[in-house]
Amino acid sequence: MKSYHYSTNDAEETMQIAEELATCVTPGSVITLEGDLGAGKTTFTKGFAKGLGIKRAVSSPTFTIIKEYLGNLPLYHMDAYRLEYSEEDIGFEEYFEAEGVSIIEWASFISDFLPEERLEITIKKVSETERVLQITAKGTSYEDILEQLAGVKGE
């Protein structure tokens, strides 16, 4: 299991890492996002969407659970926050197996439905503007994605 840490000093840098990651993913990729309220999960997703060529404004799907965006690859943006105590299967697997990329905020709330192989991102708020992103690959295809990202980042 490979893991990288990235420090960012503002929202734009967080979005830049996400945008670069979007150039490394493949159809069917699953990315989980964890972090406290206000850590930057939706900010990260906005940058990722930009990297996929999505022109539409991205917002948190807290009340709708899932929002779909069309770009170079479809983006399935999920927010599991309201599902913390739910055991209802609302068809996540259909998205995980589709030809797009799934990003799940508060993924720990639906851990029983997540695929074993995925990219896990934890965003820690260090200060009002500074964040630390820990990106962990679970599975060899995700290790390849992490290696590509490191190459893009020049590490």
Does the predicted TM-score (pTM) go above 0.85?
yes
The pLDDT value recorded for residue 71 is 92
**How many other CB atoms sit within 10 Å of the CB of residue 118?**
21
**Amino acid making up residue 64:** T
Helix/strand/coil for 150: helix
Enumerate residue ranges in the chain where pLDDT < 70: 61-64, 82-91, 152-155
The pLDDT value recorded for residue 60 is 75
Give Cα 89 distance to the centre of its chain.
20
